[in-house]
Amino acid sequence: MARPPPHHHHQSTPPSARAEDGGMKKSIDKVCIIGSGNWGSAISILVGRNCQRWNNILFEERVNMWVYDEEVTLPEDDSHRKNGEITTAPCRKLLSQVINERHENVKYLPGVRLPSNVVAVPDLAEACRGATLLIFVLPHQFLPKLLPIIRQSVQVEHCRGVSLIKGLDFDKDSKLPVLISRSIARTMGSNFSCGVLMGANVASEVAQGQICESTLAVEFGSEVRNEQTRLLFDDGSCFRVQHITDVAGAEVCGALKNVIALGAGFVDGLDDWLGGVGNTKAALLRVGLREMARFCHTFFSGVQDSTFTESCGIADLITTCYGGRNRKCAEAFCRERRKHESGGERRRSVEEYQHHWERIEAQLLDGQKLQGTVTAQEVYALLQSRNLLSDFPLMSTIYEIAFAGRPVQDIVNGIVVVDHKNKNKNKNKHALFETAPPTTTIQSRL
């Protein structure tokens, strides 16, 4: 039987039913979660409970959760009827059916009970129909096929979105980075606005009710609407959500920390060679955070230094570099590389390294997807096209180890800080992080 995570009661004040801010009144939202993997199922616990709590005040109680349906095998000790007889033999059912019958995602979040008002819907158009608040939580490569269906199922002018997707899009021609939240908004239509929820949020720990923070970066044109959105996710005791308006900074941090986590995994795979990894990993995190900040300032305007000290910044980086899937797979990659290299293995092609990562992903992640490897490839291509590889030695080294055959021991050579003093004589001396020099600041297609 799936056990429910601990529920903490807390006091929050909803936006006034008659409050007006910027001409916008509070309205009751119909919520749809698009995605039902590990993180999607975990966030559905908080969203479902808050929709129950604020039922007919801020949100409709029912929460549709779109499920990409697949057959799952129920455990042998799970009794069920077969041909009219009760049996404990394994049986196969569609995942959506299991979620609605058991209120548990037995494949991606086993052992945790989901709220009864969270309803699995395998038909995307049906799941989204009439929704006013969409939560995107699925691998971003699926979005191009799904967004046209979603757009036809909602009234775009009365709908907004929050993306929990940690990644970046890249323009095929310019190779400049494009925010996924902005790609969603553009595809949905000119009246659609999309923010992000990012932070140090390991899904299994969130589902268990462990204390954590998260950062909601949205600007919906109304403080009432922003706060109503925050209350959809916030549990003041165990899931504490802070609101900021720096969507670009929060979203880019959520993507780049996966690249830095690959480097952390390489360091972990060198524990015997390094004689301990604590100090080396701390140095990697510090340099990684500086490169993340520099990337943000180089390619996006309006990024705030304070964003890097929010949960979406340093906290998410720490969590991912110590317990995330990218770190885990990178450690396995490192150990395999070292084993094969000691036997005189030939240098592989990029495609062969890609297959190597895919094999590790299949072995270790049980259907979940790596994001850091894809982002590392795209970031490297961007930096190379702009002649900026020397400004980002850590991210460049991580890519070259992952895909270009560079020895894994070289990760320590990437943990260096580039001196930009001569490049940026007009920098703000009081800033937490160096901003990009004027000669290299590039406006992305926001």
Q: Which residues contact 358 (CB under 8 A, 6 or more apart)?
A: none
C-alpha torsion sign, points 266, 271, 273, 279: positive
Catalytic (active site) residue 175: no
What is the Cα–Cα distance from 199 to 292, expressed in whole angstroms?
15
Calculated CA dihedral for residues 17, 19, 20, 25, nearest 10 degrees: -10
Of the listed 257, 281, 369, 427, which one is catalytic? 257
**SS3 assignment, position 378:** helix
Total number of residues shown for the chain: 446
Strands 31-34 and 63-66: parallel
Query: Do 118 and 31 contact (CB within 8 A), yes or no?
Result: no
Query: Do 398 and 411 contact (CB within 8 A), yes or no?
Result: yes
Q: For the chain, how long is the longest CA-to-CA vector?
A: 80
H or E stretch at 220? none
Query: Do 101 and 75 contact (CB within 8 A), yes or no?
Result: no
What is the Cα–Cα distance from 147 to 169, expressed in whole angstroms?
15
Would you tell me how many other CB atoms lie within 10 Å of the CB of residue 330?
31
H or E stretch at 317? helix 316-323
390 burial (CB, 10 Å; 0-12 / 13-18 / 19+) is exposed
> Known catalytic residues?
257
